């Protein structure tokens, strides 16, 4: 998928919502545990109930790997289900990978070719040759951590490095890498005031914004400071939507939560586009 | 496994060699491709041929994930084979994971519980709450990236942050985290001159040292500057050993390469312990 196609989908659906798929067997409705693949059944129901309100799904690989081979099979079924039934939806493997060049190539192959995701999240610590193998894939997108939504973000990401915070240096340096037009960035919603500075460095890039919902970020603040003239935001919500109810009405309640966020987004889009 | 047990095994085998298992279907001997699970058969043969010369095996998760479910099954068979046949060997899941707290907990569950590795590599960028969930597991070890062996290491890891390089700040900060005694660190062999500085910050920690062999690092230099009074090093070699031959003699040639490294290690251990 191209960023232009993603942009068009956002305007059409009046939504820049991405739903995080973090399926935890201790949290999903108990009646699903009787099915053969509870994780897939859970994801499928959430997807069917929300696909017209969202432009993206972001399965978090940890929540599949924790269940071993069975979990990896659920991940494959989930991405296949999205690609077959809702091919216009932007898919993100939230994997936060990154390693030396030949290893990153194998990760890129895993997520872009074997699983056929549109994008994957990566960590910047190992630098250029750990990220460029991902960037080499045409019409695939590499979403690099810049400023994350957790407390630990302040341990290293905001350290002063030669006069600027590390996350700003990460953004600036990454723009010099080959095929950097395939980069997007993770910027946590819990730090809306940082978006102004970030937009000075990467005015045109899509930002994936976690931290809305369970982590406490404000959608209007994020849009005020982070939106660009192509929208340029994918706002992720996971727990607040997928665990809106633990009962048999979980998909219906998930839709209600997603609809509530999408309505707020529609108002913002109508006002600005 | 405790670090004391690892130390004892090192003295007993006169080896601190770790063999990296990076199985690539385009590089493994072609006659193995006719077997049902070429990746596992390759790993098994390498392990059987080298287990008395090494103290650790480090499967790199990317090289399994690239083959999807079949690859994940090969990873599970490989770790099970080591744990069942050579239970004294220290196992490292080279996964370079790291995410917000509840997600890192799931990764820890994947590698420490489901797959039963002794250790896993993690990335530091997201800070304290992305690493502490791994540290909570007793007698399991979390090997955090400090200074890596690739060119990209100089993009961010050596940036000056408030008067010291970022990797030194990462080392120092990590010592304040809960259960930090379960931390080990990745330090690339291609930068032996940095070990002196690193040992001032983490004198007692085990360091996992990639970069010997195909990446060009020198064993004697690493030992000169990086060894502590408990040895404190795990030196990894992957490609130089596992791809020593592409023929039917690959396991035999892998043993020869491993033996050559182990002999050099034995000389160093005999001289210092």
Instruction: Decide: A50 and A255 in contact? Cβ < 8 Å.
Output: yes
Instruction: Decide: B21 and B238 in contact? Cβ < 8 Å.
Output: yes
Size of interface A-B (CB pairs under 8 A): 188
Lowest mean pLDDT among A161-165, A246-250, B76-80: A161-165
User: Residue A143: which of A109, A164, A170 has the closest Cα?
Assistant: A170
Contact B72 A76 (CB under 8 A): no
When CB atoms are compared, the residue of A104, A129, A170 closest to B151 is A129
By the CB < 8 Å criterion, does B78 face chain A?
Answer: no
Structurally, how many domains does chain A consist of? 1
By the CB < 8 Å criterion, does A150 face chain B?
Answer: yes
By the CB < 8 Å criterion, does A41 face chain B?
Answer: no
User: Residue B179: which of B206, B142, B147 has the closest Cα?
Assistant: B142
Residue A96: active-site member: yes
Residues A146 and A122: their CA atoms lie apart, in Å, by 10
The pair of structure tokens assigned to A60 is 């978090």
Greatest CA separation found in chain B? 57
- Bridge-based pairing of strands B17-21 and A56-59 is unpaired
Report helix, strand or coil for B148.
coil
How far A148 CA sits from the closest chain B CA (Å)? 7
How many Cα atoms are found within 13 Å in the side-chain-facing hemisphere of B113?
A: 12
Task: Specify the CATH number for the domain of residue B63.
Answer: 3.20.20.70
Residues B172 and A147: their CA atoms lie apart, in Å, by 21
Average pLDDT in the B224-246 region? 96
Lowest mean pLDDT among A85-99, A183-197, B156-170, B224-238: A183-197
The pair of structure tokens assigned to B135 is 């540290």
Instruction: Decide: B257 and B54 in contact? Cβ < 8 Å.
Output: no
Contact B60 A99 (CB under 8 A): yes
Query: Mutating which of A23, A39, A78, A96 best tests the B interface, going by the most B Cβ atoms within 10 A?
Result: A96
Residues spanned by the domain of A188: 3-272
The pLDDT tens digits of the residues spanning B2-33 come to 999 999 999 999 999 999 999 999 999 999 99
How far A151 CA sits from the closest chain B CA (Å)? 7
The C-alpha torsion from A74 through A78 and A81 to A85, rounded to 10°, is 160
Residues B145 and B266: their CA atoms lie apart, in Å, by 27
Contact B153 A126 (CB under 8 A): yes
How far A77 CA sits from the closest chain B CA (Å)? 11
Residue A119 phi, psi (nearest 5)? -155, 165
Element (H, E) at A59: strand A56-59
Report H helices in chain B.
3-13, 38-50, 62-65, 68-85, 101-108, 128-135, 153-156, 166-174, 195-201, 219-226, 239-242, 250-272
The pLDDT tens digits of the residues spanning B187-223 come to 998 777 799 999 999 999 999 999 886 666 789 989 9
Is residue B34 scored above 70 in pLDDT?
yes
By the CB < 8 Å criterion, does A157 face chain B?
Answer: yes
User: Residue B22: which of B155, B233, B213 has the closest Cα?
Assistant: B213
Residues A121 and A38: their CA atoms lie apart, in Å, by 25
The pair of structure tokens assigned to B19 is 């063999």
How far B241 CA sits from the closest chain A CA (Å)? 16
pLDDT computed for residue B214 by the predictor = 63
Give A101's contacts in chain B (Cβ within 8 Å): 150
Report helix, strand or coil for A199.
helix
Give B103's contacts in chain A (Cβ within 8 Å): 22, 60, 62-63
The pair of structure tokens assigned to A55 is 């432009």
Give B106's contacts in chain A (Cβ within 8 Å): 24, 60, 62-63, 65-66
- Of all residues in chain B, the one with the smallest CA distance to A114 is B68
The pair of structure tokens assigned to A240 is 């607040």
Residues B135 and B141: their CA atoms lie apart, in Å, by 7
The angle formed by the CA atoms of residues B208, B198 and B145, to the nearest 5 degrees, is 45
Contact A110 B62 (CB under 8 A): yes
The pLDDT tens digits of the residues spanning A196-248 come to 999 999 999 999 999 886 666 789 999 999 999 999 999 999 999 999 999 99
pLDDT computed for residue B215 by the predictor = 66
Task: Write b or e for each residue in B1-23: b if 16 or more Cβ atoms lie within 10 A of its Cβ, otherwise e.
Answer: bebeebbebbeebbbbbbbbbbb
By the CB < 8 Å criterion, does B178 face chain A?
Answer: no
Helices and strands (H and E) in chain B: how many: 12, 10
Rg (CA), chain B: 18
User: Residue A243: which of A30, A1, A89 has the closest Cα?
Assistant: A30
B94: alpha, beta or left? (left if phi > 0; alpha if psi -120 to 50): beta
Contact B66 A107 (CB under 8 A): yes
Residues B135 and B127: their CA atoms lie apart, in Å, by 13
Contact A169 B159 (CB under 8 A): yes
Report H helices in A136-181.
153-156, 166-174
Positive or negative torsion for Cα A155, A160, A165, A171: negative
Instruction: Decide: B246 and B31 in contact? Cβ < 8 Å.
Output: no
Residues A241 and A255: their CA atoms lie apart, in Å, by 8
When CB atoms are compared, the residue of A67, A149, A161 closest to B159 is A161
Report helix, strand or coil for A232.
coil
Average pLDDT in the B71-81 region? 98
The C-alpha torsion from A59 through B66 and A117 to B133, rounded to 10°, is 20
pLDDT computed for residue A58 by the predictor = 98
By the CB < 8 Å criterion, does B100 face chain A?
Answer: yes
Contact A162 B160 (CB under 8 A): yes
How far B156 CA sits from the closest chain A CA (Å)? 6
Residue with tokens 């690892």: B6
Q: What percentage of chain A has pLDDT greater than the value 90?
A: 93
What average pLDDT is seen over chain A?
A: 96
The pair of structure tokens assigned to B65 is 């994930």
Average pLDDT in the B51-62 region? 98
The pLDDT tens digits of the residues spanning A17-76 come to 999 999 999 999 999 999 999 999 999 999 999 999 999 999 999 999 999 999 999 999
pLDDT computed for residue B89 by the predictor = 98
Q: Annotated catalytic residue: which of B27, B44, B77, B96? A: B96
């Amino acid at each position: 998928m191209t960023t232009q196609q993603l942009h068009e989908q956002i305007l059409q659906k009046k939504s820049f919502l991405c739903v995080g798929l973090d399926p935890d067997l201790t949290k999903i409705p108990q009646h699903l545990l009787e099915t053969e693949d509870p994780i897939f059944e859970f994801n499928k129901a959430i997807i069917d109930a929300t696909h017209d309100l969202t432009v993206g799904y972001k399965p978090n690989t940890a929540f599949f790997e924790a269940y071993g081979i069975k979990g990896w099979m659920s991940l494959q079924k989930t991405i296949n289900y999205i690609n077959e039934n809702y091919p216009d939806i932007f898919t993100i493997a939230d994997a936060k990978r990154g390693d030396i060049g030949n290893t990153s190539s194998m990760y890129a192959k895993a997520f872009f070719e074997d699983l056929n995701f549109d994008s994957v999240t990566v960590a910047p610590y190992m630098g250029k040759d750990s990220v460029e193998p991902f960037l080499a894939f045409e019409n695939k997108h590499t979403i690099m951590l810049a400023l994350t939504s957790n407390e630990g973000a302040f341990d290293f990401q905001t350290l002063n490095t030669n006069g600027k915070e590390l996350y700003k240096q990460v953004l600036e340096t990454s723009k010099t890498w080959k095929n950097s037009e395939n980069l997007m960035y993770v910027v946590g919603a819990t730090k809306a005031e940082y978006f102004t500075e970030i937009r000075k460095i990467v005015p045109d890039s899509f930002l994936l914004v976690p931290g809305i919902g369970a982590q406490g970020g404000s959608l209007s603040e994020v849009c005020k400071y982070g939106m660009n003239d192509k929208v340029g935001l994918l706002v992720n919500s996971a727990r607040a939507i997928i665990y809106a109810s633990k009962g048999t009405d979980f998909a219906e309640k998930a839709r209600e939560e997603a609809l509530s966020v999408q309505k707020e987004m529609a108002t913002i889009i109508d006002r600005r586009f």
